[in-house]
């Protein structure tokens, strides 16, 4: 049966990997040598298309390659989770979207993250820059819920080592559609409450072994159960386990994100 109406939300996983990506440079483990395309994990990022304002969550190091791979030709805004290199170093590739739109691109995120980005890429924040071929950004520090396109976006502060990162909850007409928590070592009770009964949860599930700044797969699965998420995907994955093997050990309602995974919500 053909679709007669556009989906309410289309979520595209651009990158599902950890900070070094998979395969890792110089590694010859079974996962890094795998021919399964789901085991090729670029740095974690997300593309969200809600019909009026397509936007990114983070500009990963691999952003240009991700956009070419997925045929993305329009970005109208960016949400930043935090300032770590694997989540921001694709920022200059936004210049093409500024050029196509012929306008400054709004970006949202923690005030400290936007301040760091302004120091890293001062030319992108220079209000005197007029050339359309330059990346030109309009920063919007986030403190609480804000409208974006058809949605209300709520920041979800979570601990990630010595920094606090932002996850994001997307809501529309009272529906909790998507919660994205890519980098965290725990999910506080108030955040669990905020995302309870979310339709799709994409959450950090780094590996099986404990890590000082990330959730393990087991911890992520428990959080998903406590949050009563309808469908969950693990992301920010290392090379320690293949997609097939990771998926085989998960309960119903929990899957493994991979580069190119498309999630449709009607």
Alpha helices in 41-105, H assignment, sequence order: 63-70, 85-88, 95-101
Sequence ranges of the domains in the chain: 9-265
pLDDT at 134: 82
Torsion (CA) 60, 64, 68, 70 in degrees, nearest 10: 10
- For residue 28, CA distances in Å to 6, 24, 34 come to 43, 8, 9
pTM as predicted? 0.95
How far, rounded to the nearest angstrom, does the alpha carbon of residue 258 sit from its chain's CA centroid?
A: 12
Nearest-angstrom CA–CA distance, 134 and 104: 10
What is the DSSP pairing of strand 151-160 with strand 55-57? unpaired
> Where would I find the beta strands (DSSP E) of 80-150?
105-109, 137-141, 146-148
The topology (CATH level 3) of 9-265 is: Metallo-beta-lactamase; Chain A (3.60.15)
Q: For 102-154, what is each residue's pLDDT tens digit?
A: 899 999 999 999 999 999 999 999 887 666 568 999 999 999 999 999 999 99
Q: Extract the tokens encoding 104.
A: 């400054």
Per-residue pLDDT band for 2 (boundaries 50, 70, 90) equals very low
Q: For 12-48, what is each residue's pLDDT tens digit?
A: 999 999 999 999 999 999 999 999 999 999 999 999 9
Q: What percent of the chain has pLDDT over 70?
A: 96
Does the structure show a pLDDT above 70 at 3?
no
Alpha helices in 210-261, H assignment, sequence order: 217-227, 243-248
CB 224 within 8 A of CB 203: yes
pLDDT at 131: 61
What is the DSSP pairing of strand 146-148 with strand 45-49? unpaired
pLDDT at 127: 82
Q: What mean pLDDT do residues 34-63 have?
A: 96
Nearest-angstrom CA–CA distance, 261 and 55: 16
């Amino acid at each position: 049966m053909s679709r007669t109406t556009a989906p309410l939300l289309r979520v595209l996983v651009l990158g599902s990997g950890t900070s070094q990506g998979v395969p890792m440079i110089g590694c010859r483990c079974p996962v890094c040598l795998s021919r399964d395309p789901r085991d090729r994990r670029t740095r974690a990022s997300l593309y969200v298309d809600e019909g009026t304002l397509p936007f990114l969550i983070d500009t990963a190091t691999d952003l240009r390659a991700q956009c070419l791979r997925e045929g993305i030709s329009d970005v109208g805004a960016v949400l930043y989770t935090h300032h770590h290199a694997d989540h921001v170093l694709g920022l200059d590739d936004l210049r093409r979207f500024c050029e196509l739109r012929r306008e400054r691109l709004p970006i949202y995120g923690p005030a400290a993250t936007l301040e760091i980005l302004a120091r890293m890429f001062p030319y992108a924040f220079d209000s005197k820059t007029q050339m359309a071929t330059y990346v030109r950004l309009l920063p919007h520090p986030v403190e609480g819920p804000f409208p974006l396109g058809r949605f209300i976006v709520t920041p979800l502060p979570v601990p990630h080592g010595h920094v606090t990162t932002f996850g994001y909850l997307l809501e529309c007409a009272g529906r909790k559609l998507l919660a994205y928590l890519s980098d965290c070592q725990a999910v506080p009770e108030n955040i669990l409450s905020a995302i309870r009964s979310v339709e799709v949860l994409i959450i950090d599930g780094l590996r099986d072994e404990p890590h000082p700044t990330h959730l393990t797969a087991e911890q992520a699965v428990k959080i998903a159960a406590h949050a009563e998420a309808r469908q969950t995907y693990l992301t920010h994955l290392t090379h320690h386990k293949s997609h097939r093997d990771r998926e085989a050990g998960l309960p119903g309602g929990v899957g493994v994100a991979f580069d190119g995974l498309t999630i449709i919500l009607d």
